[in-house]
Amino acid sequence: MQFLDNNDKQAFQPKAEMACTPADFASAGTAEIDAAYAADANRAFAALKYAASLVTGTLLLDLTGSDRTVQDRALTEKARDALEEAQASIAGLKPVSDNALHHRHHLRRAWSFLNEAVRLGECKSDLVRGEDSEAVFKTVQAGWDELKKLDALIAGFHTVDLGQGCCAYHAQRIAQLRQ
């Protein structure tokens, strides 16, 4: 099987959870099946992007030195809600094609990374200057990287390149703060 990204081929099991028989798959056609999957997967994708933006907002609150009280709790709770919505959507997906199976694999990985970032945000008071700050940034970045891979598998799952925006600037500033 040919993958578009070279990531975690050992962890991915093609056709492990086929919702249709091979005859059903052949008669329906890949494009129609992937389109139906994509419509369902888009809910999970949108929820994961929203959760990532909320976690990033929490990091920005820390970076600016804002008090982590009501604002932070609201962001963290909304991120947790978005992750629960994404998890429910992912659980309901019924991929048929290998591309859709691989796509769901990356949705699950993105959820896992972002869930860990939210967990760290719930139990830490200063994510930027704390001992685990590097772990938080790497976890959020890993989750976002998983989301970026999705459009290569099935069209319509677009993300913004954070390396070109304010996040890249903030990462440099955080490195300077640590020195």
Q: Are 66 and 57 in contact (CB under 8 A)?
A: no
What gap in Å lies between CA 165 and CA 171, rounded to an integer?
11
What gap in Å lies between CA 148 and CA 142, rounded to an integer?
10
What gap in Å lies between CA 160 and CA 148, rounded to an integer?
8
The predicted-structure confidence for 120-144, as pLDDT tens digits, reads as follows 877 665 565 666 677 888 898 899 9
Q: Which residues contact 93 (CB under 8 A, 6 or more apart)?
A: 37, 40, 41, 44, 100, 104, 107
Please state the pTM of the whole predicted model: 0.70
Where along the chain do its domains lie?
29-178
The predicted-structure confidence for 97-123, as pLDDT tens digits, reads as follows 888 999 999 999 999 999 999 888 776
